[in-house]
Amino acid sequence: MTQPLPIATIKSQYPDEWVLLGNPVMDEDRLDVVAGVPLFHSKDKKEVCYIGRDKTADFAKITLVYTGTRRATRKITGIFNRVAR
Determine what percent of the chain is predicted with pLDDT higher than 90: 56
Task: Round to whole Å and give the CA distance between 24 and 57.
Answer: 14
Contact 63, 36 (CB under 8 A): yes
Contact 22, 54 (CB under 8 A): no
Task: Round to whole Å and give the CA distance between 32 and 15.
Answer: 18
CA angle 24, 27, 32 (to 5 degrees): 75
- Averaged pLDDT for residues 34-54: 93
What's the confidence (pLDDT) of residue 31? Answer: 82
Whether the pLDDT of residue 81 is over 50: the answer is: no
Structural domain boundaries, residue 18: 5-84
Whether the pLDDT of residue 58 is over 80: the answer is: yes
Whether the pLDDT of residue 67 is over 70: the answer is: yes
Residues in the chain: 85
Q: Provide the number of structural domains found in the chain.
A: 1
Q: H or E element: which one contains 52?
A: none
Please give the mean pLDDT across all residues of the chain.
Answer: 85
